[in-house]
Structure 1
Amino acid sequence: MTTEALGTAIPSQDRRERLEATTAHAAHWLRGVLRVVRPAAWVLIAGAVVLWIAGGALGWWELTVAAVVITTLLALCALFLIGRTAYDVELDLTRTRVVVGERAVGALTLSNTGTRAILPSRVVLPVGAGRGEFEVNRLAPGSSAEELFAIPTTRRAVVAVGPVSVVRGDPLGLFERVHRKDEPVDLYVHPRTVLFDGQSLGFLRDLEGLPATDLSRDDVSFHALREYQPGDDLRHVHWKSTARTGTVMVRQYEETRRSHFVIGLSTNPGDYRDDEEFELAISAAGSLGLRALRDSQRVEVRVQERALPSGTGKQFLDSLSGVVHSRPRAGGIVELGALIAATLPLASVVVLVCGSTVDANQLRQACARLPFGARTLAVVAQTGAAPHLRRIGDADVVTVGALDQLAGALRKVLS
């Protein structure tokens, strides 16, 4: 490329970059303008244009007067957009975790840290799919306003509170300028749970582990004696047998499986009669998991499509707050049993939780697919039913009609 051609190409590239920057700025400005104009204003703008054109073309002064009135109204309403909304916004929830039925209380603090007053405005606080609105009066420099609010909770969920939006608009709702402030806060609405006494899960405890078929040189479960081999720990020499046989004999141990409490919660909508039954199952699973965590057991929770965090009680309840129905193609309780066997083969205790539409044959198949040697309990949620116990294969099956029946139903398993 010659020097003349290079000199021509550089200005052309600069012009193209400036044109792209100008176009992007204009598009951003246009999007801002379009967001300000409400649908009612667009109707009036279109009507004003039609009246101006018709009045000029037909010579009807009545149409022209109507066009002037509408245009003046639009201009006056647009003046309400002028002004600052530079609040410092602080959203404070006294508790970010509540149980279904409790009210979450919070405060919204708006501060004017500028040197000029802020005209009256409207503050919108989104809460999940709904929203709350607060009218804020004129705020002088250095002043602040606090709005208290309460969020009723009727269903288990993870509710996003915020972000706060400061709205400046006209009384007729033709124009609206929105500035979003602060960051959203997650409110965890935990399922209801019931506390068990110390013996409620006694039949499920496995503090010493379950024996496996593998043999080990060092464990807690003595299995047999064998001849010494190079590398064996001399602490395990059985001296009495050595003196009697004249051959160095060492103890051989049977490996034990660490206590591993697994909860399989079916989220397939076909396993439940209605949403109330689904919520009962989640509450039962939460109650069992919390009891196991208090007993210092290792707890794993599986649903059809993922594992739920369950390292602590708070983490476990937080994860249950966000549980929803899985896709039907993810399978039901039988497929969940197979998933547990594939991902948690060393589980020592497995509790399956499902709804009343699961029949005895499906429960039998699900329990048959669980890890070999694991103790099995199935909890069937059936709203309104009397608690009862039955045996399906090697598993105890407990049916509960309400959450407060769970502890008593489990005691029947012990008796």
Structure 2
Amino acid sequence: MTTEALGSAAPVTERREWWETTAEHAARWLRGVIAVVRPAAWVLIAVAVVLWIAGATLGWWELTVAATVLTVLLALCALFLIGRTAYDVTLDLTRTRVVVGERAVGALTLSNSGTRAILPSRVVLPVGAGRGEFEVHRLAPGASAEELFAIPTTKRAVVEVGPVSVVRGDPLGLFERVHRKDEPVDLYVHPRTVLFEGQSLGFLRDLEGLPATDLSRDDVSFHALREYQPGDDLRHVHWKSTARTGTVMVRQYEETRRSHFVIGLSTHPGDYRDEDEFELAISAAGSLGLRALRDSQRVEVRVQERALPSATGKQFLDSLSGVVHSRPRAGGVVDLAGIVAATLPLASVVVLVCGSGVSATKLRAACARLPFGARTLAVVAETGAAPALRRIGDADVVTVGSLEQLPAALRKVLS
């Protein structure tokens, strides 16, 4: 390509880039304009245009006057969009984790760090599916306004609080300019739980765990002596045997496993009579898991479609806050037991938690699917029922009608 051709191609490229940049800015400006116009304003704009055209075409001055009035009205309402909304917004929840029934309290602080006053605005704070609205008066430079709010927590959930939106608009609601000012904060509403006294879940009281067939260089269960090999820890040298045989001998150990506590919580809607039973089952599962964690057991929790994080009590309760009914095609408690057996075959204790919608036949089939050798307990949530204990196959089945009945029912199982 010649030098002249290259020189002529450069301006074309520059013009193309300029047009692309201009079109992008124009599109952004147009989206901004469309975003501030409410549906009612679009209707009035369309009516004003029709009146202007009809008045000019038909020569009716009444239509022209009506079009003028609407145009002036729209222009006056648009003036309310003028003004800054440059607040410094701080959203503070005193507690991001509460129990069902407790009130969550927070504070919303808006400050004017600029050099000019900020005209009155409306602040919208989304809280889950609802929202709260606050009127903020004119803020002088350096001034601030604080709004306190309370969030009712009648249901277990993960509630997203925010983001805070500052709204500038007209009294008629024709135009509205919204600026989001803060990141949302998650409020975890934990299920109710009940505490157990002592080692209430001590099905496995062996502090050394369950021995496995795998040999290890370091554990708590002594197995045998063998000759030293390069890389062995010198702390495990057995000096008496070394002195007697003339060969360096080291201890060999059997690997052990901690008590593996597994909770299978059914979330299938057909396993429960109503929502109260579902919430009771979640509270029972939470109480059992917290007790096992306090007993330093390894806890894993499964629902139909996923595993719930349960490394710590806080993480466990956070995950329970977001549990909802699974899809019907995910299967009921029998399918859940099959998932537990397939994914957690080394479980020491398995607790199945379900509702009164599960028949004894299904419960028997579910318990039969669980890992061989695991201690099995089934907890059936049936609101209003008297506590009961029965035996189905190799499993103890406890029925509870309220959360407060759970500790006494478990003591009967362990007695």
Match of 1:349 in 2: 349
Distance 1:359 1:124 in 2: 49
- 1:74-89 correspondence runs (5 A): 74-89=74-89
Match of 1:22 in 2: 22
Contact 1:204 1:375 in 2 (8 A): no
Match of 2:337 in 1: 337
- The answer as to 2:174 corresponding to 1:147 is no
- The answer as to 2:133 corresponding to 1:133 is yes
Distance 2:133 2:75 in 1: 26
Contact 1:352 1:379 in 2 (8 A): yes
SS in 1 for 2:115: coil
- The answer as to 2:167 corresponding to 1:164 is no
- 1:306-325 correspondence runs (5 A): 306-325=306-325
Contact 1:262 1:350 in 2 (8 A): yes
Distance 1:152 1:103 in 2: 5
Contact 2:237 2:251 in 1 (8 A): no
Match of 2:100 in 1: 100
Match of 2:50 in 1: 50
Match of 2:232 in 1: none
- The answer as to 2:172 corresponding to 1:197 is no
Q: Which amino acid aligns with 1:348?
A: S
Cα distance change on mapping 1:362 and 1:256 into 2, 3 Å: farther
Distance 2:286 2:216 in 1: 36
Cα distance change on mapping 1:216 and 1:147 into 2, 3 Å: closer
Distance 2:339 2:33 in 1: 53
Q: Which runs of 4+ in 1 moved over 4 A?
A: 211-223, 228-238, 250-256
Distance 2:195 2:266 in 1: 22
Cα distance change on mapping 1:190 and 1:229 into 2, 3 Å: closer
Match of 1:405 in 2: 405
Q: Which amino acid aligns with 2:324?
A: V
Contact 1:237 1:251 in 2 (8 A): no
SS in 2 for 1:166: strand
Report the Cα offset of residue 221 of structure 1. 6.3
Cα distance change on mapping 1:218 and 1:316 into 2, 3 Å: closer
Distance 2:161 2:58 in 1: 55
Match of 1:63 in 2: 63
SS in 1 for 2:8: helix
Report the Cα offset of residue 218 of structure 1. 8.0
- 1:216-235 correspondence runs (5 A): 235=238
Cα distance change on mapping 1:236 and 1:397 into 2, 3 Å: farther
CA distances 1:55-84 after superposition (whole Å, capped 9, x unpaired): 111111111111111111111000000011
Distance 2:29 2:100 in 1: 45
Cα distance change on mapping 1:88 and 1:229 into 2, 3 Å: closer
CA distances 1:95-118 after superposition (whole Å, capped 9, x unpaired): 000011111100000100111111
Distance 1:6 1:90 in 2: 55
In the superposition, the TM-score normalised over structure 2's length comes to 0.90
Match of 2:209 in 1: 209
- 1:230-245 correspondence runs (5 A): 235=238
Q: Which amino acid aligns with 2:300?
A: E
Distance 1:379 1:207 in 2: 26
Report the Cα offset of residue 9 of structure 1. 2.3
Match of 2:90 in 1: 90
Cα distance change on mapping 1:176 and 1:215 into 2, 3 Å: closer
Identity percentage of aligned residues: 85
5+ residue gaps, structure 1, are: 243-249
Report the Cα offset of residue 297 of structure 1. 1.2
Distance 1:27 1:124 in 2: 27
Distance 1:255 1:85 in 2: 64
Distance 1:47 1:334 in 2: 63
Cα distance change on mapping 1:176 and 1:16 into 2, 3 Å: same
CA distances 1:115-136 after superposition (whole Å, capped 9, x unpaired): 1111111000000111000000
Distance 1:23 1:251 in 2: 77
Q: Which amino acid aligns with 1:56?
A: A
Q: Which amino acid aligns with 1:98?
A: V
Cα distance change on mapping 1:291 and 1:53 into 2, 3 Å: same
Report the Cα offset of residue 38 of structure 1. 0.5
Distance 1:197 1:392 in 2: 27
Comparing 212-221 and 142-151, the one that deviates more: 212-221
Distance 1:337 1:236 in 2: 50
Cα distance change on mapping 1:392 and 1:211 into 2, 3 Å: farther
Distance 2:125 2:375 in 1: 49
5+ residue gaps, structure 2, are: 230-235, 245-249
- 1:157-306 correspondence runs (5 A): 157-203=157-203, 205=205, 207-212=207-212, 235=238, 256-306=256-306
Distance 2:372 2:214 in 1: 14
CA distances 1:260-314 after superposition (whole Å, capped 9, x unpaired): 1111111222222222211111100000011111111111111122211111111
Q: Which amino acid aligns with 2:326?
A: S
- The answer as to 2:6 corresponding to 1:6 is yes
SS in 2 for 1:159: strand
In the superposition, the TM-score normalised over structure 1's length comes to 0.90
Report the Cα offset of residue 237 of structure 1. 9.7
Q: Give the number of equivalent residue pairs.
A: 402
Q: Which amino acid aligns with 2:302?
A: R
Distance 1:206 1:77 in 2: 76
Comparing 129-138 and 355-364, the one that deviates more: 355-364
CA distances 1:186-226 after superposition (whole Å, capped 9, x unpaired): 10000010111114323455543235566789876689x9x
Q: Which amino acid aligns with 2:169?
A: G
Distance 1:34 1:306 in 2: 42
